[in-house]
Amino acid sequence: MSARPILTVSGVRKDYGSTAALAPTSLELVPGELAVLTGPSGSGKSTLLMIAGGWETPDEGEVIPHPPLADVAMAEQPWEHVGVVPQSISLLEELSIADNLAFAARRRGSTGGADLAALLAALDLDVLAGRLPGETSRGEQQRAAVGRALAAGASLVLADEPTSHQDRRRGELVLDVLRAAADGGACVLIASHDPVAIGRADREISLG
């Protein structure tokens, strides 16, 4: 028997003016999978992630969350339900790397969330956990954003090109923690051009 979906994306389409950002797209995401969105630059991967997360409104179609997500709009889902790695990374600049994770983890999800020290170490961030984001590299900030997305034990993780600023070894670390989250029962959807990431996924969803 196949798993019940955690999120249904039904016929969503998005235009920005005369630009067709996302052609009509439907998908069902299920717990326990690492799915990768692929497609040429400009095919709508980021747009689809933004729509799935509720930060962008589709021109057509709808996004339907299912249990265990909260019974609220996607944009209002707390970190213990939906963990996000935006392309812009968007850490809280006044909090240390460790406190960015701790802030997301202050309310733990049904899985209890991650051991934050272990998560920092798994992402090769332990030695700089006390630094502010502005005192770290772009790749380190991106790994911290991955840690933040996983810190509260989210049921759904949406990550936009989470290895784009990583070297090969650190990219593997990012994929290891995302893979472990999926193997632990989360649904993880990433957008990526990275062949290593595509190779680690259970399913490729190709746009364009």
Among 6, 34, 46, 77, binds ligand ATP (CB under 6 A): 46
Among 3, 4, 11, 16, binds ligand ATP (CB under 6 A): 16
Cα 153 from chain centroid (whole Å): 12
Supply 115's token pair: 């051991």
Among 47, 100, 142, 155, binds ligand ATP (CB under 6 A): 47
Number of residues that bind ligand ATP (CB under 6 A): 12
Q: Considering the complex, what minimum distance in angstroms separates the CB of residue 117 from ligand ATP? A: 33
Instruction: Name residues whose C-beta falls within 8 Å of residue 173's C-beta, 6 or more positions apart in sequence.
Output: 122, 123, 124, 143, 166
Among 6, 7, 12, 45, binds ligand ATP (CB under 6 A): 45
Residue 151's SS3 state is: helix
Please name which of 172, 199, 200, 190 lies closest in space to residue 83, comparing C-alpha atoms.
190
The reply on whether position 18 binds ligand ATP by CB under 6 A is no
Q: Considering the complex, what minimum distance in angstroms separates the CB of residue 32 from ligand ATP? A: 25
The reply on whether position 44 binds ligand ATP by CB under 6 A is yes
Q: Considering the complex, what minimum distance in angstroms separates the CB of residue 49 from ligand ATP? A: 8
The reply on whether position 42 binds ligand ATP by CB under 6 A is yes
Supply 47's token pair: 């747009």
Instruction: Name residues whose C-beta falls within 8 Å of residue 17's C-beta, 6 or more positions apart in sequence.
Output: none
The reply on whether position 25 binds ligand ATP by CB under 6 A is no
Q: 2 vs 19, which CB is nearer to ligand ATP?
A: 19
The reply on whether position 39 binds ligand ATP by CB under 6 A is yes
Among 6, 7, 21, 101, binds ligand ATP (CB under 6 A): 21
Report the C-alpha gap between 106 and 82 in whole angstroms.
14
Identify any residues that bridge with 28 across adjacent strands, giving them in sequence order: 8
The neighbour count for residue 39, using CB atoms within 10 Å, is 16
Please name which of 208, 131, 145 lies closest in space to residue 178, comparing C-alpha atoms.
145
Residue numbers of the site for ligand ATP (CB under 6 A)?
Answer: 16, 19, 21, 39, 41-47, 191
